[in-house]
Structure 1
Amino acid sequence: MDEFIKMLDPALDYVEHISKGQNCLITVESNREVVTCPYCGTESTRVHSVYKREFQDLPIQDYQVVIQIRNRKMFCDNPECDHKTFSERFNFITYKARKTERLIKKILILSSRVSSVSASSMLKSDTAAVSKSTICRLLKKNASDCG
């Protein structure tokens, strides 16, 4: 399982997974020793706290996947920075997003071919729990990328 997680991001380590029904919850954590402040670019090694963050990803073997990351909040030691703490960020998911970029891409491809109601129904059956309104919001947000 660790090699699947490394495909998502080499900075992640597999911790454990739990399968229940058609769902799989995968817990991961960062292996970075140094994290860069997204606001000023200063590197930090001091951990403020750790919190759990969950998001959906592409399915594995017809299991809907939710990844739970033990996300770190770090201290920024730059006195010039406006932020004293910041959350560790990753390239495969935008800040505060609930779905990975690759899952969003799959949702957009499918929903460009069928109605949002049909896309929602198809995705819920084997890919991810996605509502009609979420699909509409993603389509609106990504309209400039599609044209």
Structure 2
Amino acid sequence: MIENAVVEGELVVVRARASAERAACSACGTVSGRVHSRYVRRLADTAVAGRPVVIELQVRRFRCRDRACRQATFAEQVDGLTFRHGGEAPGCRRCCNR
């Protein structure tokens, strides 16, 4: 969910937050709704009107419900926007041929 978009100098900053109630563990696939913490990811995206764009996305870390899972917590991913350990939005990756 987009909260706002502002121009800060030469940069366009889009502030958003993930809004799914649950997420699947990246290690075992178990679905959890138990939130451990929150943090902000900064994703580079393609330019708008010649200005670089940064998406500041608030995401949650969930606790895996499977006690046997090797991963106690995991970060939620937003389909089409984020992936594990990624610092760029998919649009930026396509544009720059990475």
Shorter-normalised TM-score: what interval?
0.7 to 0.9
Aligned residues: 97
Give the 4+ runs in structure 1 shifted more than 3 A. none
Match of 2:72 in 1: 84
Amino acid corresponding to residue 100 of structure 1 in structure 2:
A
TM-score in terms of structure 2 length: 0.88
**Structure with higher strand content:** 2
CA RMSD of aligned residues (A): 1.4
- Among residues 28, 49, 55, which one is paired with 1:67 in the alignment? 55
1:94 CA displacement: 2.6
Q: Secondary structure at the match of 1:32?
A: coil
* Higher RCO structure, 1 or 2 (CA under 8 Å, sep 6+): 2
Alpha-carbon distance in 1 for matches of 2:5, 2:21: 24
Larger Rg: 1
- Unaligned 5+ segments in structure 1 are 1-12, 109-137, 139-147
Residues in 2 aligned to 1:58 and 1:26: alpha-carbon distance in whole angstroms: 12
For normalisation by structure 1, the TM-score amounts to: 0.61
1:24-103 mapped onto 2 (5 Å cutoff)? 24-91=12-79, 92-103=81-92
Paired with 1:23 and 1:77, the residues of 2 have a C-alpha distance of 40
- Displacement of 1:93 in angstroms is 2.9
**1:5-60: CA deviation from partner (whole Å, max 9, x where unpaired):** xxxxxxxx011222122211111101101111111111111110001110111222
